[in-house]
Each structure stands twice: as structure tokens, then as C-alpha cells.
Structure 1
Amino acid sequence: SASGSDWCYTENSPSKWKDISGSFCGDKRQSPLNIVTSHVVTDSKLNNFTFVNFSSEHAIKSIVNTGHTDNEVEVSGGGLNGTYSTIQFHFHWGDTEHHPGSEHTIDDHRYPMEMHIVSLKKGLAVEQAIEKSDGIAVLGFFINVCPTTNMSEAWSTLTSYLTNVTGMICPFKIMNISINGLIGDVDLTKFYRYMGSLTTPMCNEAVAWTVFQEPINIHKDLVSWTGLTRVKGV
């Protein structure tokens, strides 16, 4: 599948993606979606998650400006069918009609940003994972911009790196940032679950989506980035 950096929301808009040969775009299990909280049903099978190495400051190894925002990092539990190995995380944001912000919405409310942590079912390659209905697990976090929120050390460190890689296409080594540091105090026991798809062509319907209810709050001064940047773990 093509990376998200190969797709846009203007000339090659999502309304045209369904016309791509072999694409699943436009089928019945497509993401993202608007989560209508009045329609949400409690599922007792959605137990707590188990996260491995989310607190490690050595899991995030390099950063490269590619047009999006990757020690073993794993996630299991939370009603997922198995253990998933994290391969990358990235951000979606914007301030225009064509780049409105978060991909998912809650009761039609769109947050300024959304962070996705992408994991493959353990032992599968990407090509194998996209062929299975739950081959990929994505953890989605809304990001809220608050003028009074204290500067997070992890976010301040991350954005300091981003200012150094504008226009770069080669990996840039980073240090001392953990996934938990970015997530902060979000309640990881409160989340929405649905079975959906990749959000860019070929829109494979292979994703178990977890969208956390509480947003990550970051200071407004940290959201002065241009472009989209992918962070990789090795």
C-alpha cells in the first residue's frame, strides 16, 4: 500500500479513491468515521491493554520528514485478538478546509490533531497483515490544543527535533522520548473500538481501531509545525 504521503485531499481527493483499480475505498468498513456517542454500546470483552516498552526512551530511534509522522514495542489486551508489534506512529492535523485536523470525529466534533500508533499482528509482514480482517491495530489519540497546559517535556523534545528536519528526507536520530511521555495522563481504560480500514488507498479493511476518549492536551505553542512528519522505531 502506498504511504499516506502519496495521497492528498485536494486534486486526488478521497471521493476519487474508490475508482482506483483494486481499491477497497468506498466499501462498507471504511475509516475514519464520526463516533456518535449515543450509539455506543458497552462491551465487557474490552479489558485493559498491556503495553510493552511504551515507557522506553529508546524505542523511538529516528525521525524523517516524509509527509506523515516507527527494543520491541508491543500492545495486547483491550479486546484485541493477539499481540501486535508497533511499527510506527504518525500525526494528522491541519487548519484549512482541505486539511481540517483529526481524522476521526466525536459527535461531529473535530480535534485539531490526531496521533496514530500503528501495529501489526505479531509475526506478520505488512503484506500479510493487510489481507486479514484484524491484521493491523491502530491506537488513535485526539490531541487538544490548550493555551494554559504546561509544556510537556516529551512534546517539547519532539517538536524541537521537528524544527530541525524541515525539508530533510533522511532519518534524523532522536533520543529520550517515550510513547508514554507523549500520551501523558490519558485514561487508557476509556476507548472506542470498531473494525475499520486504512485511511488511504488501498483502504484495506484490515484494521482494529481503538480511539481513546480523552484527548492529549498540549500547549498551543507546540503546534506551529509545517508538513506532516513520521517518527519511526527501529
Structure 2
Amino acid sequence: RFSTDNSIAPNYRPIQPLNGRNITASPATPPRKSNDYTPSHWSELSGSHCGDESQSPIDISTDTVVENEALNSFNFTNFDNKHAIKSITNTGHTVQCVLEDGLVEVSGGGLSHVYSTLQFHFHWGTESAHSVGSEHTVDQKQYPMEMHIVSKRKDLTLDEALKTPDGLAVLGFLIEVKTDMHCKIFKPHLTSPTSSSSEVEVTDEISIDDLLGNVNRESYFRYSGSLTTPSCNEAVVWTIFKESVKVDQVLMAMFPENTGYHNIFRPTQPLHSRKIFTTAAAAGLVPVWVYLLLPCLCTLFC
């Protein structure tokens, strides 16, 4: 006969001490995601280099940079190609534009090799008009946003490049607000963001040159560093351009608003014994942001 008492006692045993036993995982068990950790704990990740001596980003103190005459003009191959951007990906932590394989290249600029450009992505803060979100800082000034164009040595595989001190070359462009630019016409086209890890094909005709406009690419800083996300491989020749790209606040706010990602930047890391080099002083050009990026973003978020 069943009891008419409706109360149910707990039917599980409390957890017991492990007492020195090991727990193993099958090969198919996915690793703990790096974004489960804040940057201060990245060095605890398996295979991480995030606690090593030559990490990025850094603060660039202009009082201590060393002029280097070997830092000459870059050769940007197919940066003007309007079909170079293959797709835009919501990676789960940023917006990344993937380029056609083997089409875009970077050389010169004091680089010792030719580099194949793979993708570019962005780092930002929040929707606030006063938000900061760049990874690199200049004389302790942090900018609202930063764009990274990532290339690997043409003579290496990506795996090899990640293990080589100059295996990767990253071009960093600091981005700030220019208040007299307007792009409200595009905002109605933006709806909710696509899901994490989604990818859409780019059909608009847009080039990297279109995005960068007339920003001066002759004047820049150079140092050796790392990737700014785990595993933080110290395999990067960094170029940070002195002149910032100017973007309307409406466009800038669309990144956090439509992705839901906020403050996606790593804090600056110690310089230690590294030197920061600079090109010879030269007059800058007036920067212009070309708003062809907006339809590109609409492609991702609509």
C-alpha cells in the first residue's frame, strides 16, 4: 500500500570526498572555453602563453620610442580589391571579416617577409559616447575602438606561424569618434544580431582601402608582441598607426548594441625589456572614414 503522505524526502546522496582520486576526460570532451576566464586568469589556461614576457597590447610611451629608418613604406597588395572580403563572422566574442584566401598581402614597412592577410576584426567597449575599447594605448590614452588586420607569413602554415616570433604581422588602427559624421540612414536596417559563430557571405563591393580611407599609413609604431587573446602566442610583429580612423558615434555604438558584447579588449601588458620603434616624423593626412562598412555590418546583423 502506498503512503498518502505527499511529502517527498530528498532522493540523492550528497557529494563525497575525492580523497586523492583523479578524474579523467574522454578525448571528445570539449575544453573549457577561454572566455570563461577574465584576462587576469588567461595564464592559467592549458598551453597558454598569456603570462609570458612579451605580451600585447601595450601602452606606447612616445617619450621613449626609438626612431628606426628601416621602417619604410608598406606594400598593400589588393587592399583596393572590392571583392577581397569573403564573409563576416560573429565569432562569439567579436566581429571578424574573413578575406579570400591568398588574395591580400602585406610587405615592406620594415617587415622581413611577405605576409598573407587572413582577416580583420575589432575591439570595443560599450554603447556610451565616452566609452573606451582599444587595446593599445598611446601615452596612457585609450581610444574608443581598435581594428586589427591579421596576416601570416606567406612561407609558413598558420600552425608554424604561431610558433615563430615573426610568424604573424598585425596592423592596428586606433578608432575614435568624429561627431559631425552622420549615418542614421543605415540604422533602420540593423536588427538583432545573428547567433554566436554565425557567418554570412559579403556581396557588397567594399575594399580594405575603402574602410581605411585616407588615414596616413606612412607613420607608425613597431614592436614585437603577442596575440591579445588566448593562447597569446608571442608570434606577432605589431604595427600601430599613429593617425586614428574617425567614425561616427552611431556606427561605433552598433558594435556593442547589435552583438551584445561589451568591453572586449585586453588590458595593456608590461613592456619589460622590449623597445618600441617609430618611423621618422612626417606630416599626416586628413583621415576619412568611408561608410561602405555600414552595409557590410548590415549583412551580418540583418
Which runs of no fewer than 5 residues in structure 1 stay unpaired?
1-5
Alpha-carbon distance between aligned partners in 1 of 2:79 and 2:116, rounded to the nearest angstrom? 11
Partners in 2 of 1:196 and 1:160 — Cα distance?
Answer: 40
Judged with a 3 Å threshold, the aligned counterparts in structure 2 of structure 1 residues 7 and 112 are, in CA distance, closer, same or farther, namely: farther
From the two aligned structures, give the one with the greater strand fraction: 1
Task: Provide the rounded CA distance (Å) in 1 between the counterparts of 2:45 and 2:132.
Answer: 24
Q: Does 1:39 align with 2:68?
A: no
Distance in 1 between residues matched to 2:44 and 2:200, nearest whole Å: 37
- Residue 223 of structure 1: how far off its partner (Å): 1.6
Residue 122 of structure 1 corresponds to which residue in structure 2? 154
Secondary structure (helix, strand or coil) at the match of 1:80 reads: coil
User: Is 1:181 the counterpart of 2:210 in the alignment?
Assistant: yes
Aligned pairs for 1:114-153 within 5 A: 114-149=146-181
1:88 alignment partner, one of 102, 119, 123: 119
> What code does the residue aligned with 1:172 have?
V
Aligned residue number for residue 194 of structure 2: 167
Q: What is the aligned counterpart of 1:213 among 222, 242, 245?
A: 242
Larger RCO: Structure 1 or Structure 2 (Cα < 8 Å, ≥ 6 residues apart)?
A: 1
Q: RMSD across aligned C-alpha pairs, in angstroms?
A: 2.4
How far the C-alpha of 1:165 sits from its partner, in A, is: 7.2
User: Using a 3 Å threshold, how does the CA distance of structure 1 residues 203 and 92 change in structure 2: closer, same or farther?
Assistant: same
| Matches of 2:188 and 2:139, distance apart in 1 | 34
Letter in 2 for 1:122: K
- TM-score for both structures, normalised by structure 2: 0.66
Q: CA deviation at 1:21?
A: 3.0
Is 1:198 the counterpart of 2:227? The answer is: yes
Larger Cα-atom Rg: 2
Q: TM-score, length-normalised on structure 1?
A: 0.84
C-alpha displacement of 1:170? 3.4
How has the CA–CA distance of structure 1 residues 160 and 43 changed in structure 2, closer, same or farther, with 3 Å as cutoff?
farther
Q: 1-side partners of 2:48 and 2:201: how far apart?
A: 35
* Alpha-carbon distance between aligned partners in 1 of 2:126 and 2:107, rounded to the nearest angstrom: 34
Q: For 1:79, which of 68, 87, 110 is the aligned residue?
A: 110
Moved beyond 3 Å, runs of 4+? none
8 Å Cα contact 1:65-1:165 kept in structure 2: no
Paired residue secondary structure (2:253): coil
The answer to whether the aligner puts 1:25 opposite 2:50 as a matched pair is: yes
Q: Give CA-to-partner distance per residue, 1:37-61, whole Å, 9 cap, x none.
A: 1011110000100000101110012
AA at the equivalent of 2:228: T
Q: How many residues are aligned here?
A: 215
- The CA deviation at 1:16 is 1.1
Partner Cα separation in structure 1 for residue 34 and residue 155 of structure 2: 28
Letter in 2 for 1:54: F
1:171 shift after superposition = 2.2
Distance 1:55 1:160, change over 3 A: farther
Paired amino acid for 2:217: L
**Partner Cα distance (2:148, 2:188) in 1:** 20
Q: Say which of 82, 89, 92 aligns to 1:64.
A: 89
Q: Is the 8 A contact 1:94 1:113 kept in 2?
A: yes
Unaligned runs of 5+ in 2: 1-32, 265-295, 297-302
Q: In 2 relative to 1, CA 12–101 (structure 1 residues): closer, same or farther, beyond 3 Å? A: same
Deviation per CA, 1:181-207: give whole Å up to 9, x if none.
111111100000000001111111100
Write the distance in 2 (CA, Å) between the matches of 1:100 and 1:147. 16
CA deviation after TM superposition for structure 1 residue 100, in Å: 4.2
In structure 1, distance between residues paired with 2:250 and 2:75? 32
Cα distance in structure 1, aligned partners of 2:242 and 2:182: 21
**SS of equivalent to 1:181:** helix
